[in-house]
Amino acid sequence: MQNFWDQRYAQRVQRMRSSAIRELLKITEHPDAISFAGGLPAPDVFPVEKIAAVTQKILREHSTQALQYGPTEGYRPLRELLAQQMSHDGLSISVDNIIITSGSQQGLDLLARIFVDPDDYILTESPTYMGALQVFAPYEPRYITIPSDEGGVRTDELEEALQHNRPKFMYILPNFQNPSGRTLTLQRRQHLLEIVNRYGIPVLEDDPYSQLRFAGEALLSLLDLTGSDYSSAQSGYQGKIIHLNTFSKILAPGLRLGWTVAPAGVISKLVQAKQGTDLHTSSFNQLIAYELLREGFFEKHIPLIRQKYHERRNVMLAALEEFFPAGTQWTHPEGGMFLWITLPAGMDSSELLREALEQEKVAFVPGHAFHPNGGGENTMRLSFSNATPERIRDGIERLGRVLQKKVEQATVRA
């Protein structure tokens, strides 16, 4: 019976993988478990009352628009407002530069769908967002990877990496990167733009976390930096950055709302691709985001999220200092939801995970899966956004115990 189906799957199915995060989320359903694995926002800052109020307003005043089929590119007033709010003195974005997607994850899928042929190269940081690798996989790309350090991707290695193969695009998360929590410095942003401009390489700038900065100074996005008149750019590198964004981290992921900014010609291809996948993103949910955006709700709301994540990051950093053995290193992100641990060389974080789950019911994501071309076995990602401060401290203590034991065993063996 199973065989009946197995011989019928398409080739690309072999490339699909269930994400490590997903499997972990199942294990951590136990109430005693503490998970630093999933990139889940803190539910205590979901604006429940506010969403309840605007849904009533929408159903009273715009029920047909909220419940009927809508245009594939998205609810026009929402697209207009996003275009307006993203535009500024140095950047002009029009409604034709914006498509609403079912989460920015769908933006990635649609972009891969319109750009990636089998064996095309994608240029990425390593480590990079595992979810993007999963989206790209069925389109069968290969990867050129650049390592990163505390200042983000090592742009000094970029040109060398481009000598042999020309990528379809570069995929990068410049702010509080998933998984590392690192931010690309302004100098490197400029350096990166200079190189991709010279080589004619489009950049997919995935920017879900930039508004969640709780320390340090905000940096201009790659989109801002190339800016000027995005919508009618004729020359130079203007209009060659495609920018992905989301309401998942500033409102609620359960609404599945994101948006992609791209040149109008690219948007029209994305619209064709989206029409063949889900027709359009929930009208109801788009109207919710529109009402909140229009009221200026986010200006009051986002500071609450920042404050919460700042506190949780501080608790996690302090607990790491207290409970993690010498020889372990971690990043100090100025925003976002993640930090990145590097274990002593030769240690395997997948093994650590198994033991941590068994002995202490603590979960995280092993770092290997974030490396498109392999490596990173001694790295791991911790999310500090979802657990309460008490549970963060408790979980890091428990994880520290398992890790301490492993380090001691390694020493004995050596």
- Asked if 165 is part of the footprint of a copy of itself (rule: CB under 8 A), the reply reads no
Q: Which of 162, 212, 266, 337 is the binder for a copy of itself (CB under 8 A)? A: 266
Q: Where are the alpha helices (DSSP H) in 62-176?
A: 63-67, 76-86, 103-115, 130-136, 158-161
Q: How far is the CB of 365 from a copy of itself (least distance, A)?
A: 14
Indicate the angle between helix axes 297-323 and 283-294, nearest 10 degrees.
100
- Asked if 30 is part of the footprint of a copy of itself (rule: CB under 8 A), the reply reads no
* Residue 314: both structure tokens together: 């501080």
Q: How far is the CB of 169 from a copy of itself (least distance, A)?
A: 8
**Closest C-alpha to 262, from 272, 251, 270, 254:** 270
Q: How far is the CB of 329 from a copy of itself (least distance, A)?
A: 29
Query: Which span (150-158, 228-236, 367-375, 394-402) binds a copy of itself, by CB under 8 A?
Result: 228-236
- Asked if 227 is part of the footprint of a copy of itself (rule: CB under 8 A), the reply reads no
- Asked if 134 is part of the footprint of a copy of itself (rule: CB under 8 A), the reply reads yes
Residue 261 is which amino acid? V
Cβ closer to a copy of itself: 263 or 400?
A: 263
- Does residue 28 contact residue 395 with C-beta atoms inside 8 Å? no
- Asked if 388 is part of the footprint of a copy of itself (rule: CB under 8 A), the reply reads no
- 180/176 Cα distance (integer angstroms): 7
Give the torsion through C-alpha atoms of 129, 386, 251, 74, to 10 deg: 30
Cβ closer to a copy of itself: 38 or 152?
A: 38
- Asked if 372 is part of the footprint of a copy of itself (rule: CB under 8 A), the reply reads no
- Asked if 231 is part of the footprint of a copy of itself (rule: CB under 8 A), the reply reads no
Q: Which of 25, 33, 161, 302 is the binder for a copy of itself (CB under 8 A)? A: 25
For CA atoms 405, 393, 151, 156, give the dihedral sign.
Answer: positive
Total Cβ atoms within 10 A of residue 227: 21
Binding mask 245-264 for a copy of itself (x = CB under 8 A): ---x---xxxxx------x-
- 263/280 Cα distance (integer angstroms): 20
- Asked if 304 is part of the footprint of a copy of itself (rule: CB under 8 A), the reply reads no
- 398/32 Cα distance (integer angstroms): 12
Q: How far is the CB of 81 from a copy of itself (least distance, A)?
A: 19
Cβ closer to a copy of itself: 155 or 282?
A: 282
Site for a copy of itself in 276-295 (CB under 8 A): 276-285
The count of chain residues that interact with a copy of itself, using the rule CB under 8 A, is: 91
Residues 6 or more apart whose CB falls under 8 angstroms from that of 164 comprise: none
Q: Which of 269, 310, 398, 405 is the binder for a copy of itself (CB under 8 A)? A: 269
How would you class 333 by CB atoms within 10 Å of its CB: exposed for 0-12, middle for 13-18, buried for 19 or more? Answer: buried
- Asked if 199 is part of the footprint of a copy of itself (rule: CB under 8 A), the reply reads no
- Asked if 412 is part of the footprint of a copy of itself (rule: CB under 8 A), the reply reads no
Do strands 329-330 and 121-126 pair parallel, antiparallel, or not at all (unpaired)?
Answer: unpaired
DSSP 232-282: G--STTTT-EEEEEESTTTT-GGG--EEEE--HHHHHHHHHHHHTTTSS--
- Does residue 362 contact residue 402 with C-beta atoms inside 8 Å? yes
Query: Which span (1-9, 305-313, 318-326, 342-350) binds a copy of itself, by CB under 8 A?
Result: 1-9
* Residue 190: both structure tokens together: 């400029």
Cβ closer to a copy of itself: 43 or 90?
A: 43
- 257/87 Cα distance (integer angstroms): 20
Q: How far is the CB of 279 from a copy of itself (least distance, A)?
A: 5
- Asked if 2 is part of the footprint of a copy of itself (rule: CB under 8 A), the reply reads yes
- Asked if 411 is part of the footprint of a copy of itself (rule: CB under 8 A), the reply reads no
Q: How far is the CB of 43 from a copy of itself (least distance, A)?
A: 4
Q: Which letter does DSSP use for residue 144 in this model?
A: E
Q: Which of 275, 329, 359, 373 is the binder for a copy of itself (CB under 8 A)? A: 275
Cβ closer to a copy of itself: 283 or 378?
A: 283
* Residue 406: both structure tokens together: 């492993």
Q: Which of 35, 100, 115, 188 is the binder for a copy of itself (CB under 8 A)? A: 115
Site for a copy of itself in 35-94 (CB under 8 A): 38, 40-41, 43, 46, 48-49, 51-52, 55-56, 59-60, 63-72
Cβ closer to a copy of itself: 131 or 174?
A: 131
